[in-house]
C-alpha cells in the first residue's frame, strides 16, 4: 500500500467538471489541492452541454470566460415548437435576456479540456493524478482520508485536511454514506444524443425544443465551423416500452437509429428536416434520464460530496454542469472564510443542499415543458396556418425567419449578476 500525506491540503476525487472547478477555485484562494481521477487518460467525451449565466459568471471570475466563449456559441433565443413545426413561444437567453454574463453552449469535451489544461498549468501537472479510483473515505477530528485503487491495483491511501468527492453519479463516497440508495432512478425517458455539421438552423443562435415531453427533439449549435457551417447538438427523447434499453447509464454508450428515428420520420418542416438531421449524425449516444432522491447530508466531518455525486438530477434545464460549478465556487468560498474545516464544509452543505434538492424535485415535474404538453393535448393535429392578413402579429417575421411572436422582454441585470467575492 502506498501513502500520500497532503497535510492540511484538500484531496478531490474526480477530475470532471465539478472537481476541476473546485480545484481551480481552491487554488485561487491559496489552498493546496490535489485531484485524483479514476480514468488513465482523459478523452474529449460527451456531446453538447450548456452553461447558464450564473455559472459563466463564476468561470469568468476564474479568468476562463474568453477562452470558453471562443470555443462555444452564445445562444440568444429558446424557441418552443409543436410537433408539426409551428412555433408556440420563444424567449431570450443569456445576454439577450439581460444577464451580464452569457449562456454558453459548448462541446463537453472542449469544456473539460480547457478546465483540465488550466488546472494542470495553475496547480502543476503532478497535482492532477490520473488512474486513481476512489474506493473509500474516512474522517477523524483532525484529518480526512481517501483510499484509491491506483495503477496495477495498488492501494493508495491519501490523508488530507479535507476530502471532496466529485466522483459523479456513481460516487463511491456517496455509496459508502448511503449504502441502501440502490441504482439511479429512471424516469422512463431515453435520450439519444448526437452532433452534426450542417448549415445553421434558423439564425444559428437559437436553441429549439420541438414536440412534447413523451416525444421531444431538442437542439442547439455548439460551435461555428468554416464556410458558415456549425456543429449542431441534438437530443431525441422518447419513452419506449422496452426498458432493457435503459440498462446501466453510461455517457459513452452508442445509440442505434432503429430505436428512435422511426418516431421522428414525419417531423419534416419548411424550416427543418428532423429525420435528415438525425441521419446525418456520424454516431449517437443513448442515455437514460436518471436521478437519485435528494439526501439530508453531504458533509460528514471533513468529507463532503459535490456535483453529480451530491445531487444527480434529470438532464433538463441545463443545470448538470452549472450546479456543479456553483457547488465548487461556494465550497471554495466557505473554506476561504472559515478557519475550521468541518464548519466550512457544513456551511457549504447548508448553502447548496436546499436549492439543489429543490431542483432535483422540480426536474421531476414537467417544468418548462408544460406548455408543450398542453399544446399536444389541445392541438394534437396540424392547425392550418393563418392567412397573412389574419395573422395575429400581422404576418411579421422575426430575425430567424419565423412568424414574429410575442417575446419576453429582456430584464435589467440583477444585483446577483454582479460578480463579487464570496464569503459565507
Ligand atoms: C464521460 C462523460 C461524458 C458526459 N457527457 C455529457 C454530455 O454529453 N452532456 C451532459 O449534459 N452531461 C454529460 N456528462 C455529465 C456532466 O458532465 C455532469 O452531469 C456535470 O458536469 C456535473 O459534473 P460532475 O463533475 O459532478 O460529474 P462528471 O462530469 O460526471 O465527473 C465525474 C468525474 O469523476 C470521475 N470518477 C468517477 N468515479 C470515480 C472514482 N471512484 N474515483 C475517482 N474519480 C471518479 C469520472 O471519470 C469523471 O471524470 C458526462 C459525464 C461524463 C463522465
DSSP secondary structure of 303-324: EEE-GGGT----S-TT-HHHHH
Residue 392 pLDDT: 39
Ramachandran area for residue 340 (φ above 0: left; ψ -120 to 50: alpha; else beta): beta
CA-closest candidate to residue 288, choices 260, 310, 311: 260
- Check whether 137 has a pLDDT greater than 80: yes
Residue 388 pLDDT: 42
Residue 244 pLDDT: 64
Name which of 71-85, 217-231, 282-296, 384-398 the model is least confident about.
384-398
Cβ density class 120-154: b for 16+ within 10 Å, e for less: beebeeebbbebbbbeebbbeeebbbbbbbbeeee
Please give the distance, rounded to the nearest whole angstrom, from the Cα atom of residue 339 to the centre of ligand 1: 31
- Check whether 318 has a pLDDT greater than 70: yes
Torsion angles phi and psi, residue 79, rounded to 5:
-110, 135
Q: Greater confidence, 401 or 297?
A: 297
- Check whether 234 has a pLDDT greater than 50: yes
Q: Greater confidence, 238 or 45?
A: 238
| Distance from C-alpha of 36 to C-alpha of 346, rounded to nearest angstrom | 23
Residue 250 pLDDT: 75
Is residue 18 lining ligand 1, measured as CB closer than 6 Å? yes
- Check whether 396 has a pLDDT greater than 90: no
Q: Greater confidence, 366 or 386?
A: 366
- Check whether 357 has a pLDDT greater than 90: yes
Which residues, 6+ apart, have CB-to-CB distance to 156 below 8 Å? 1, 2, 3, 4, 132, 147, 148, 149, 150
- Check whether 359 has a pLDDT greater than 80: yes
Name which of 161-175, 235-249, 381-395 the model is least confident about.
381-395
State which ligand 1 atom lies nearest to the alpha carbon of 133: 42
CA-closest candidate to residue 169, choices 289, 333, 12: 289
Residue 103 pLDDT: 96
Is residue 116 lining ligand 1, measured as CB closer than 6 Å? no
Cβ density class 305-314: b for 16+ within 10 Å, e for less: bbbbbbbbbb
Is residue 128 lining ligand 1, measured as CB closer than 6 Å? no
State which ligand 1 atom lies nearest to the alpha carbon of 18: 25
| Distance from C-alpha of 304 to C-alpha of 173, rounded to nearest angstrom | 9
> In which band, very low, low, confident or very high, does the pLDDT at 66 lie, cut at 50, 70 and 90?
very high
- Check whether 198 has a pLDDT greater than 60: yes
Residue 245 pLDDT: 59
C-alpha cell at position 356 = 439543489
CA-closest candidate to residue 174, choices 328, 13, 331, 329: 13
Please give the distance, rounded to the nearest whole angstrom, from the Cα atom of residue 77 to the centre of ligand 1: 27
Please give the distance, rounded to the nearest whole angstrom, from the Cα atom of residue 411 to the centre of ligand 1: 33
Is residue 194 lining ligand 1, measured as CB closer than 6 Å? no
Name which of 39-43, 121-125, 147-151, 351-355 the model is least confident about.
39-43
| Distance from C-alpha of 101 to C-alpha of 95, rounded to nearest angstrom | 6
Residue 46 pLDDT: 75
> In which band, very low, low, confident or very high, does the pLDDT at 383 lie, cut at 50, 70 and 90?
low
| Distance from C-alpha of 24 to C-alpha of 33, rounded to nearest angstrom | 9
- Averaged pLDDT for residues 170-187: 93
Is residue 324 lining ligand 1, measured as CB closer than 6 Å? yes
Give, for ligand 1, the residue of 13, 15, 16 to mutate: max count of ligand atoms closer than 8 Å to Cβ: 16
Query: How wide is the angle at C-alpha 48 spanned by C-alphas 43 and 15, nearest 5°?
Result: 40
> In which band, very low, low, confident or very high, does the pLDDT at 154 lie, cut at 50, 70 and 90?
very high
Element (H, E) at 144: strand 144-149
Number of H helices, E strands in the chain: 10, 18
Residue 270 pLDDT: 93
Residue ranges of domains in the chain, CATH in brackets: 2-41+130-183+292-364 (3.50.50.60), 47-107+185-291+368-405 (3.30.9.30)
- Check whether 113 has a pLDDT greater than 90: yes
Q: Indicate the pTM of the whole model.
A: 0.90
> In which band, very low, low, confident or very high, does the pLDDT at 387 lie, cut at 50, 70 and 90?
very low
**118 and 142 Cβ atoms separated by less than 8 Å:** no
Element (H, E) at 231: strand 230-238
Is residue 166 lining ligand 1, measured as CB closer than 6 Å? yes
- Check whether 180 has a pLDDT greater than 50: yes
Average pLDDT value for the chain: 88
Name which of 53-67, 92-106, 152-166, 307-321 the model is least confident about.
307-321
**70 and 64 Cβ atoms separated by less than 8 Å:** no
Q: How far is CA 196 from the centre of its chain?
A: 20
Share of the chain above pLDDT 90, in %: 72
C-alpha cell at position 415 = 444585483
Which residues, 6+ apart, have CB-to-CB distance to 385 below 8 Å? 86
Of all protein residues, the one whose alpha carbon is nearest to atom 5 of ligand 1 is 46
- Averaged pLDDT for residues 126-145: 96
Residue 117 pLDDT: 96
Please give the distance, rounded to the nearest whole angstrom, from the Cα atom of residue 41 to the centre of ligand 1: 14
Q: Greater confidence, 187 or 414?
A: 187
Residue 419 pLDDT: 42
Amino acid at each position: 500500500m502506498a501513502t500520500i500525506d497532503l497535510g492540511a491540503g484538500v484531496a478531490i476525487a474526480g477530475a470532471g467538471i465539478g472537481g476541476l472547478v473546485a480545484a481551480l477555485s481552491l487554488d485561487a484562494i491559496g489552498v493546496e489541492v490535489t485531484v485524483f481521477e479514476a480514468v488513465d487518460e482523459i478523452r474529449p467525451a460527451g456531446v453538447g452541454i450548456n452553461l447558464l449565466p450564473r455559472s459563466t459568471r463564476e468561470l469568468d471570475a476564474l479568468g476562463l470566460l474568453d477562452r470558453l466563449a471562443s470555443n462555444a456559441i452564445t445562444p440568444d433565443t429558446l424557441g418552443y415548437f409543436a410537433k408539426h413545426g409551428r412555433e408556440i413561444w420563444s424567449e431570450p437567453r443569456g445576454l439577450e435576456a439581460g444577464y451580464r454574463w452569457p449562456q454558453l453552449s459548448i462541446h463537453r469535451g472542449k469544456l473539460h479540456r480547457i478546465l483540465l489544461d488550466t488546472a494542470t498549468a495553475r496547480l502543476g501537472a503532478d497535482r492532477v493524478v490520473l488512474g486513481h479510483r476512489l474506493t473509500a473515505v474516512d474522517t477523524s477530528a483532525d484529518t480526512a482520508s481517501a483510499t484509491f485503487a491506483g495503477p496495477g491495483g495498488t492501494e493508495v491511501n491519501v490523508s488530507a485536511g479535507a476530502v471532496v468527492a466529485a466522483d459523479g453519479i456513481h460516487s463511491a463516497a456517496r455509496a459508502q454514506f448511503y449504502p441502501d440508495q440502490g441504482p439511479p432512478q429512471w424516469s422512463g425517458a431515453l435520450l439519444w444524443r448526437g452532433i452534426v455539421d450542417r448549415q445553421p438552423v434558423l439564425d444559428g443562435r437559437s436553441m429549439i425544443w420541438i414536440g412534447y415531453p413523451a416525444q421531444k427533439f431538442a437542439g442547439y449549435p455548439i460551435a461555428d465551423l468554416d464556410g458558415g457551417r456549425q456543429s449542431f447538438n441534438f437530443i431525441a427523447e422518447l419513452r419506449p416500452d422496452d426498458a432493457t434499453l435503459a440498462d446501466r447509464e453510461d455517457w459513452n454508450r452508442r445509440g442505434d437509429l432503429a430505436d428512435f428515428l422511426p418516431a421522428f420520420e414525419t417531423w419534416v418542416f419548411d424550416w427543418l428536416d428532423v429525420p435528415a438531421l438525425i441521419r446525418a449524425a456520424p454516431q449517437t449516444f443513448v442515455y437514460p434520464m436518471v436521478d437519485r432522491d435528494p439526501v439530508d447530508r453531504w458533509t460528514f466531518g471533513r468529507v463532503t460530496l459535490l456535483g453529480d455525486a451530491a445531487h444527480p438530477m434529470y438532464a433538463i434545464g441545463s443545470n448538470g454542469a452549472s450546479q456543479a460549478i456553483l457547488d465548487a465556487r461556494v465550497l471554495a468560498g466557505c473554506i476561504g472564510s472559515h478557519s475550521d474545516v468541518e464548519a466550512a464544509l457544513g456551511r457549504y452543505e447548508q448553502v447548496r443542499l436546499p436549492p439543489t434538492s429543490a431542483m432535483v424535485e422540480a426536474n421531476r415535474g414537467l417544468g418548462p415543458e408544460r406548455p408543450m404538453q398542453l399544446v399536444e393535448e389541445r392541438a394534437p393535429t396540424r392547425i392550418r396556418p393563418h392567412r397573412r392578413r389574419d395573422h395575429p402579429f400581422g404576418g411579421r417575421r422575426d430575425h430567424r425567419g419565423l412568424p414574429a411572436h410575442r417575446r419576453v422582454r429582456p430584464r435589467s441585470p440583477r444585483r446577483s449578476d454582479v460578480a463579487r467575492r464570496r464569503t459565507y
